[in-house]
């Protein structure tokens, strides 16, 4: 069997109206230092978004979620943070913000396959 590695993850939450504090999970960010791995996967439930705020900017929320995925993927198109190492990108993404897309608390676990962990957590906690 392959070795298990510590990983960290945080949920991405959509808070359509920050002043009300209502939220729902729309993605997950996973970081595994041992594998120099960081990735995010998102899934926006538009029905939930409309239930919390019928006037929400769906395109804006989708763009914010895509931006998180882009920072994880890296490259010039994702901006300055995407040029940092995997750990710095993860820390930047999970820093608290007062925006419509917010990171939740960081949790830890053990995994043999961080990429599979991203999908497992998305299915378990978001979809």
Mean pLDDT of the chain: 93
7-13 mean pLDDT: 98
| 1 pLDDT above the threshold of 70 | no
Assign 84 a pLDDT band (cuts: 50, 70, 90).
Answer: confident
In three-state secondary structure terms, 24 is strand
Q: What is the pTM of this model?
A: 0.91
Residue 47 backbone dihedrals phi, psi, to 5 degrees = -65, -40
Structure tokens at 89: 């990108």
Contacts of 64 (CB under 8 A, 6+ apart): 99, 100, 101
* Helices within 1-127 (DSSP H only): 46-52, 58-73, 86-93, 114-125
């Amino acid at each position: 069997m392959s070795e298990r590695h510590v990983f960290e993850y945080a949920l991405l939450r959509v808070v359509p109206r920050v002043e009300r504090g209502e939220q729902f999970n729309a993605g997950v960010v996973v970081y595994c230092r041992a594998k120099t791995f960081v990735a995010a996967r998102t899934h926006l439930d538009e029905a939930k978004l409309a239930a919390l705020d019928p006037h929400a900017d769906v395109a804006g929320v989708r763009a914010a979620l895509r931006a998180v995925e882009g920072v994880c993927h890296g490259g010039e198109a994702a901006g300055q943070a995407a040029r940092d190492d995997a750990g710095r990108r993860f820390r930047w993404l999970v820093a608290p913000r007062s925006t419509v897309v917010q990171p939740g608390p960081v949790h830890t676990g053990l995994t043999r396959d961080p990429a599979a962990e991203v999908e497992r957590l998305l299915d378990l906690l978001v979809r």
